[in-house]
């Protein structure tokens, strides 16, 4: 059976879709400058994300894109932010962070203004946020805030929206307003709690009452009644805003049915995008242990020959004046005045500038040119020089060579040769295959000059152990666990699974992980305006591991502008 969606005007769709990146960025920053962002502002931001998601679904009904996944994630975070504000403001500290516009706000209890506290949440707002949390698998993550606001919700007996909230809480956490905890009651008791909520509903024809009946059918595993309830809910979908094309109640119930019982909607309709119902399924392997689950489709692809992966990001702009300025400052850094007290600082800046030129220029061609090879080699020498200087005895000078010239720098061990610069220098040395340049980097290690408190810390330790000849398995396992704990944190994690296959010595799985890593890089930079980031054209970390594997004699079975052929050769 097919159900077509109701009509929303093309002008409303275009208004929601066009210019969204700038609009949402301006919206959140405007609210933040106007004063304290309270529950109302977070709800409005959530609605803006949902309108954009609805507009995206017109062109891509399945919503199986990185953009849609990122938008749903932030719609959920903003809606949950409104719930968190009502639950915690003036009582406890909390924060709300949106990855898409890279914006967040922290709330400190000690700085709270009690007069701005919003102690209650309307049932419909609570339900909208809870449905989004179901779609994003964030109910347990925000469970405490939902429980607190549910407990303080105005209890008008018989109100269908409030009773539906009671039903959801019973389904997830058990039926008690005194103690909300997972697995507090048996499935039978939870079903009885939903029945009790349903019995109190006065308006049995309301949407919330229909949703509660459908939830009851799901809890009872009554597929026929569940499908009938879903049809009734979808028949009621209507509205003039793009977000009404994605009705949250039937969507959340369909997602619950799939995740609890594997049920897919019995009706064919764009109201229920496949990716939202199924939770954006991927073929990514588990990352909790060494080794990986081999993807049969990818294994078959590799058996037929190299797999081609395109790079959708645009060529990055570089104004001639900026380019000339970068090159001038790089040359000044490798030819410092004898009394230049900032010589090492300028060298560290030169490494960053040379990496920037390398990446921007790489965006303009599928393979590296002679000029780009020269960029790469200079960048590698800059990185090696930085760590030769860091290894020198305090109070002495370190000699480094550029283009046959010997240059002296004062021994310096500070943040300019910290963990981030260490990883960059290591990756450049691996890409170029410069064993001489690799030596001081490995000898120094990632925390020679500064502590590493980043999410990449365990990965850098694993890299260091591998290249200095220490058993890398313990550190690699820690890095895998750290990536798993980070989950969908909004930043691109290090290529730990790919590295683990290098450690494991499994060439086939390395190629599978290589494809996964490059797809993850591509998908990350397909969201919002990340395609204009300087790192979009190449993942230096992935490229470095691929070049190292190639030098080990392994075949690299992925062909892509992300892996310039001249570098792999």
pLDDT at 287 over 50: no
Pairing between β-strand 94-98 and β-strand 103-107 as defined by DSSP bridges = antiparallel
Tell me the pLDDT tens digit for each residue of 508-546.
999 999 999 999 999 999 999 999 999 999 999 999 999
Tell me the pLDDT tens digit for each residue of 313-342.
999 999 999 999 999 999 999 999 888 889
In terms of DSSP H, where are the helices of 89-206?
123-135, 143-151, 160-173, 187-200
Least confident residue range of 83-97, 364-378, 484-498:
484-498
Pairing between β-strand 397-402 and β-strand 405-410 as defined by DSSP bridges = antiparallel
Q: What's residue 288's pLDDT? A: 35
Q: What token pair was written down for 263? A: 């049920």
Q: What's residue 323's pLDDT? A: 94
- Lookup result for tokens 């991927």: 282
Q: Global pTM?
A: 0.90
> For the residues 338-354, what does the mean pLDDT come to?
93
Q: What's residue 314's pLDDT? A: 93
Question: CA 360 to CA 358: how far, in whole Å?
Answer: 6
Helix axes 435-444, 457-467, angle to 10 degrees: 120
Q: Cα 329–333–334 angle (5° rounding)? A: 125
Pairing between β-strand 307-308 and β-strand 558-559 as defined by DSSP bridges = parallel
Q: What's residue 113's pLDDT? A: 77
pLDDT at 489 over 60: yes
Tell me the pLDDT tens digit for each residue of 12-21.
999 999 999 9
Question: CA 275 to CA 270: how far, in whole Å?
Answer: 11
pLDDT class of 484 with cuts at 50, 70, 90: confident
> For the residues 347-357, what does the mean pLDDT come to?
96
Nearest to 273 by CA among 252, 290, 299: 252
**Selection from 97-101, 198-202, 289-293 with the highest mean pLDDT:** 97-101
pLDDT class of 444 with cuts at 50, 70, 90: very high
pLDDT at 178 over 60: no
How many residues belong to the chain? 569
Q: What's residue 155's pLDDT? A: 64
Rg of the chain, C-alpha, whole Å: 27
In terms of DSSP H, where are the helices of 220-295?
223-235, 248-261, 274-278
> For the residues 433-455, what does the mean pLDDT come to?
96
Percent of the residues in the chain that have a pLDDT greater than 90, as a whole number: 83
Q: What's residue 369's pLDDT? A: 93
Burial per residue of 285-317, b for 16 or more beta-carbon CB atoms within 10 angstroms, e otherwise: bebeebebeebeebeebbeeeebebebebeebe
Q: Is the dihedral of CA 46, 47, 50, 52 positive or negative?
A: negative
Question: CA 263 to CA 21: how far, in whole Å?
Answer: 35
Q: In the chain, what is the straight-line distance between the N-terminal and C-terminal CA atoms, in Å? A: 55
Q: What's residue 119's pLDDT? A: 67
> For the residues 343-354, what does the mean pLDDT come to?
96
Tell me the pLDDT tens digit for each residue of 108-162.
988 777 766 776 789 999 999 999 999 999 999 899 999 999 998 876 667 899 9
Cα 12 to chain centroid distance, Å, stands at 29
Question: CA 78 to CA 65: how far, in whole Å?
Answer: 20
- What rounded mean pLDDT belongs to the chain? 91
Q: Residue 302: in which H helix or E strand, if any?
A: helix 296-304
Q: What's residue 328's pLDDT? A: 96
pLDDT at 60 over 90: yes
Question: CA 514 to CA 561: how far, in whole Å?
Answer: 13
Q: What's residue 204's pLDDT? A: 87
């Amino acid at each position: 059976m097919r159900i077509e969606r109701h009509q929303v005007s093309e002008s409303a769709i275009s208004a929601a879709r066009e210019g969204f990146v700038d609009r949402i960025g301006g919206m959140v920053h405007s609210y933040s400058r106007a004063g304290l962002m309270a529950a109302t502002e977070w709800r409005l931001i959530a609605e803006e994300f949902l309108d954009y998601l609805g507009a995206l679904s017109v062109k891509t009904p399945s919503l199986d894109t990185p953009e849609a996944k990122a938008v749903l994630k932030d719609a959920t975070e903003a809606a949950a932010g409104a719930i968190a504000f009502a639950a915690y403001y003036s009582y406890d500290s909390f924060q709300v962070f949106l990855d898409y516009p890279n914006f967040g706000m922290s709330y400190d209890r000690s700085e709270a203004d009690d007069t701005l506290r919003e102690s209650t949440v309307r049932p419909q707002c609570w339900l909208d946020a809870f449905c989004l949390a179901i779609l994003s698998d964030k109910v347990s993550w925000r469970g405490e805030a939902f429980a607190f606001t549910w407990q303080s919700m105005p209890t008008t007996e018989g109100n269908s929206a409030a009773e539906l909230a009671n039903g959801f809480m019973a389904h997830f956490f058990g039926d008690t307003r005194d103690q909300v905890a997972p697995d507090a009651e048996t499935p039978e008791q939870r079903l009885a709690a939903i029945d009790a909520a349903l019995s109190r509903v006065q308006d049995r024809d309301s949407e919330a009452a229909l949703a509660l009946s459908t939830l009851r059918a799901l809890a009872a595993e009554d597929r026929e009644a569940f499908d009938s309830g879903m049809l009734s809910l979808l028949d009621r979908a209507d509205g003039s805003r793009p977000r009404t094309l994605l009705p949250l109640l039937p969507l959340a119930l369909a997602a619950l049915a799939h995740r609890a019982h594997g049920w897919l909607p019995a009706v064919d309709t764009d109201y229920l995008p496949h990716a939202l119902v199924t939770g954006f399924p991927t073929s990514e392997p588990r990352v909790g242990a060494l080794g990986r689950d081999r993807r049969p489709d990818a294994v078959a692809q590799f058996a037929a020959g190299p797999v081609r992966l395109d790079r959708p990001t645009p060529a990055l702009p570089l104004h001639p004046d900026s380019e000339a300025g970068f090159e001038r400052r790089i040359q000044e850094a490798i030819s410092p005045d004898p009394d230049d007290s900032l010589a090492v600082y300028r060298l560290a800046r030169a490494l960053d500038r040379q990496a920037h030129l390398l990446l921007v220029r790489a965006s303009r061609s599928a393979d590296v040119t002679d000029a780009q090879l020269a960029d790469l080699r200079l960048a590698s020498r800059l990185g090696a020089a930085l760590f030769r200087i860091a290894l020198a005895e305090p109070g002495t000078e370190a000699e480094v060579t550029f283009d046959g010239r010997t240059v002296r720098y004062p021994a310096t061990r500070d943040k300019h040769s910290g963990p981030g610069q260490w990883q960059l220098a290591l990756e450049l040395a691996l890409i170029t295959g410069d064993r001489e340049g690799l030596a001081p980097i490995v000898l120094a290690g990632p925390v020679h000059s500064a502590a590493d408190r980043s999410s990449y810390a365990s990965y850098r330790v694993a890299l260091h152990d591998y290249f200095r000849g220490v058993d890398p398995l313990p550190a690699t396992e820690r890095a895998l666990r750290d990536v798993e704990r980070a989950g969908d944190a909004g930043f691109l994690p290090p290529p730990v699974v790919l590295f683990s296959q290098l450690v494991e010595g499994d060439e086939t799985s390395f190629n599978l992980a290589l494809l996964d890593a490059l797809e993850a890089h591509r998908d990350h930079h397909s969201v919002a305006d990340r395609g204009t980031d300087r790192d979009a054209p190449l993942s230096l970390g992935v490229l470095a591991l691929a070049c190292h594997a190639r030098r080990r004699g392994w075949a690299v079975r992925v062909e892509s502008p992300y892996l310039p052929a001249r570098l792999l050769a």
